[in-house]
Amino acid sequence: MRYLSLMLLAPWLIVLAWAYLALHKRPARSAAQRIFDALAVTVAAIVSIWSALLAFSSVVVKTVGALGPESGGIWKQVAPALYGYGTFVAVLVIAMLVRRMIWRRGNPSQPQ
Domain ranges of the chain: 4-22+31-105
CA distance 26 to 61: 49
Judged against a pLDDT cut of 70, whether residue 28 lies above it is answered with no
pTM of full prediction above 0.85: no
Alpha-carbon torsion, ordered 70, 62, 57, 95, to 10 deg: 50
Strand partners, 69: 63
HSE of 20, CA atoms in CB hemisphere, 13 A: 29
Nearest to 90 by CA among 53, 54, 43: 43
Judged against a pLDDT cut of 60, whether residue 55 lies above it is answered with yes
Check residue 111 and give its pLDDT: 52
Check residue 71 and give its pLDDT: 62
pLDDT of 57-103, one tens digit each? 888 777 666 666 666 677 788 888 899 999 999 999 999 999 889 88
Most confident of the following: 27-36, 45-54, 76-85, 98-107: 45-54
